[in-house]
Amino acid sequence: MDTQELINSGDLELYVCGVLDLERSIEITQLIKDNIPLQLEVQQIEETYIKLAKGLAPTTNEVALFDKLQAIIGDHKNEVTTTGSSWSNYLGWAAAVALLIGSGYLYMNNANLQETNTTLENQVVTIEQEKDFLSTEMEQTKEVNNDYQEALAFIKDKNTRRVDLAGQKGFEDTYATAFHNAVENVTYIDVAGLPPAPQGKSYQLWSLTLNPLTPTSLGVVENSNDLIRVENANATEAFGITLEEYGGAAGPNLEQLYTLGVIN
């Protein structure tokens, strides 16, 4: 039975009135679940049925439906004890029964709506998470760009001196580059030319004065492809990088002097 045949059959009116057997009611509930025309038809029948129960006059396009519902109720009126009750009271009872019988449909429809709402809420949460992620990425990109612009401006400053740190004996293939600005007391160091530090070891950057030779630690430097900014208020004449125990040392291990460069 297709949708129009079911609408014409009168079973939907019986369904709303609550006089179908349970098996047929369940069957129609399933049919209504995914069928919008049937849902609209049931809604119209329910609205007309409630009007009938309240004793309200039908509109022109509801007259036929009114007559059909009255006929159904009349056919089944004798099945209900109505002693001492008026026709309107019976209709009120019948409306309650109809709503109860129709609760299967309403429950399923509500469950579908709740499932849809849950899906939409999950989609909103996902979109918000993606938005937060993209926002964080944009902030990080902005910070990296700002750092790059700052480093570029620093390198181009007239007071910045470039210092090439050449590989020393036993480490000839290593190198590093320092950019030192004695006015700003800042040094940028590029250590991309150093191999990864062995486990349990760290590279340490030293500021050197040459006469007498005095090393001052500028801290541990991790392998990185980025420029590393170091505060340096020392009277630096040269830079050296040594390999030390992890975390750094109080003085340089000259046997592990990887690179050295003098400021011209």
pLDDT tens digits, residue range 175-197? 999 999 999 999 999 999 999 99
Residue 108: count other Cβ atoms within 10 Å of its Cβ: 14
pTM as predicted:
0.49
Residues 255 and 179 grouped into a single domain: yes
Please say which residue of 101, 134, 150 terminates a domain: 101
Mean pLDDT of 12-29: 80
Task: Give the domain CATH number at 179.
Answer: 2.60.40
Residues 176 and 258 grouped into a single domain: yes
Examine residue 129 and state whether it is found in any structural domain, yes or no: no
Examine residue 154 and state whether it is found in any structural domain, yes or no: no
Examine residue 186 and state whether it is found in any structural domain, yes or no: yes
Q: Is 65 left (phi over 0), alpha (psi -120 to 50) or beta?
A: alpha
* pLDDT of 169 over the 60 cut: yes
Q: What is the pLDDT of residue 248?
A: 92
Please say which residue of 101, 120, 136 terminates a domain: 101
Please say which residue of 101, 116, 135 terminates a domain: 101
Instruction: Give the model's confidence band at 165: pLDDT under 50 very low, under 70 low, under 90 confident, else very high.
Output: very high
Residues 165 and 90 grouped into a single domain: no
Domain with 172 in it: 160-262
pLDDT tens digits, residue range 27-50? 888 888 888 888 888 888 887 777
